[in-house]
Amino acid sequence: MPTIASVLAAVVFSGFQPQLAAVAGNVYLLFGQDNVIHVARSLDEGDSFEQLAPLPVSGQMPLGMRRGPRIAGTSSTLLISAVVGARGGGADGDVVLYRSRDFGATWESPMVINDVPGSAREGLHAMAASPSGLVVLAWLDLRAKGTRIYAAVSHDHGASWAPDVLVYASPSGSVCECCHPSVSIGPNGHIAVMFRNNVNGNRDMYVTRSTDGVVFSAATRLGTNSWALDACPMDGGAIDISTDDITAVWRRETTVYLTTSNTPEQALGPGRDPVVSRSQGQQDIAWSSPAGIRLLRQDGSRVALGLGRFPTLLALRDKTMIAWEQQGQVIVQTVAR
């Protein structure tokens, strides 16, 4: 049975679509509200937060169903990405990157990453970064008929970017139109991109890998069964390759599944919106279930948290931080190991 032991008091902000990241030894919480990106920093691994200066968005920023800003960082730079358009609402949108070389005190002028204006207007994207300065952005792209996966890489902490590249185009003409992609960078600098495909009406999860961010491998399907669905479930899951073992969490129908390099498929329980995070050999998985947010620890124990959607997760050495959205509020809780 799930336990609520060792769960510390919640910290609450007004906002939507939270994201957590550990950058240069500190914890950052990101969320959006009214076309403003808000950032809070914790210097004590989540015991307290200070809000940094907000980032006003020059245009319209989608905030819903995993549409929203992302945060990551290298050894020297804090990075925030968002899809922003002048009109919004799917009419336009570009992947925009904000850089801070003083970890949130000041921000450089934003830069547009996608080479074709308006091609990221679906509003769904992902970002990952490594301490060495490798940064990867991936997004659903609409520069041609159908939805494709595109990506771009930077090797200098986000200061400059290679031309964006086609990661995957479905033989059926379009990947799943409204499920966000996921990106992870391994310790050797290899890149993995996970996305929900649409092949002959099956909405299954696929993974492709790259050693350089330019050439991607043939995509492979996850799971042992397929999900025949004439609609988009709007649920892209999450992937982690921070070790040699690939961990992917994703949804098929009403069930959340775990896939690793050695296990083809393991059902975790009913729910959606799964996320995964790993730190020093400790792996945590969270998702939103009909009964509330669920946290699964490396040792198999489960923690029951409050009601909500769109959890974000950060595994630390001695604790786990988890944030989620509930009725216009961002709830942040810390769970001791």
Q: pLDDT 10s per residue in the chain (337 long)?
A: 445 446 777 999 999 999 999 999 999 999 999 999 999 999 998 889 999 999 999 999 999 999 999 999 999 999 999 999 999 999 999 999 999 999 999 999 999 999 999 999 999 999 999 999 999 999 999 999 999 999 999 999 999 999 999 999 999 999 999 999 999 999 999 999 999 999 999 999 999 999 999 999 999 999 999 999 999 999 999 999 988 788 999 999 999 999 998 888 999 999 999 999 998 778 999 999 999 999 999 889 999 999 999 999 999 988 999 999 999 999 999 999 8
**226: its two tokens:** 């397929």
- The C-alpha atoms of residue 171 and residue 236 are separated, in whole angstroms, by 19
Q: For residue 61, give Cα distances in angstroms to 16, 138, 330.
A: 12, 17, 18
Query: Can you give the pLDDT at residue 330?
Result: 97
* Contacts (Cβ under 8 Å, ≥6 apart) of 126: 70, 137, 138, 139, 180, 181, 182, 183, 193
Domains annotated on the chain, with CATH: 16-291 (2.120.10.10)
Task: State CA 25 to chain mean position distance.
Answer: 20
Query: Can you give the pLDDT at residue 99?
Result: 98
Looking at residue 224, its amino acid is: T
**Coil, strand or helix at 197:** coil
- The C-alpha atoms of residue 142 and residue 19 are separated, in whole angstroms, by 25
